Amino acid sequence: MIKGIKTGLRAVEKSDLGLLRDWRNIESFRRNFREVRELSLADQEQWFDSLLNSKQNNFMFIIVDLSSNEAIGACGLLYTNWIIRSADFSFYIGRDESYIDKDGFAQESASLLIQYGFNNLNLNKIWMELYEFDHQKIDFFTNNFKFKVDGVLRQNCFEDGQYWDSKIISLLHSENI
């Protein structure tokens, strides 16, 4: 387990799949994910199997509250490109449908994963694709971790009867303080 003061990051276990499915099916969360359909347990199991078969390129974790050992969220570095040393950052706090909490769990667990990516995996760039209406996550990562907007994918999402842009944001190893 990767440990901070309040949170830890541990490997995803098969026993976590029901909880992950429940979190990913929260409607307010799902609209912010690239996978917008309702997920079944079979979908989660298929995802887990593909994760196990791609361990060299995908690093998923359960976020744990160390005071209770309770799973409170999920995060990961996915689609790792070992040539350009980059990975897609996936992150949410599922407990209490927080998405990004105000109690410091999101702050610490995101920091732990960023440090793991740069210091253990030797990544040069950690990036995310976020829909323009996902202000909570855009603001959280640009304000707290100094992610920068790399570009915009125009009309890259269809939600609430209209097309929305995606923002690609990233943090370079040299920018990580």
Residue range of the domain that includes 93: 2-175
d(CA 22, CA 76): 18
Task: Determine the length of the chain.
Answer: 177
Q: Which of 98, 92, 88, 26 is nearest to 62 (CA)?
A: 92
Q: What is the pLDDT along the chain (177 residues), one digit of tens a residue?
A: 999 999 999 998 889 988 887 877 777 776 677 766 677 777 777 878 777 776 678 899 999 999 999 999 999 999 999 999 999 999 888 878 777 888 899 999 999 999 999 999 999 999 999 999 999 999 999 999 999 999 999 999 898 899 999 999 999 999 986
Q: Which of 44, 38, 42, 97 is nearest to 73 (CA)?
A: 97
Give the CATH number for residue 80.
Answer: 3.40.630.30
Residue 100 in tokens? 């990004």
Tell me how many domains the chain contains: 1
Q: Position of tokens 């499915």?
A: 21
pTM for this predicted structure: 0.89
In Å, how far from its chain's centre is CA 104?
Answer: 16
Residue pointed to by tokens 């209770």: 68
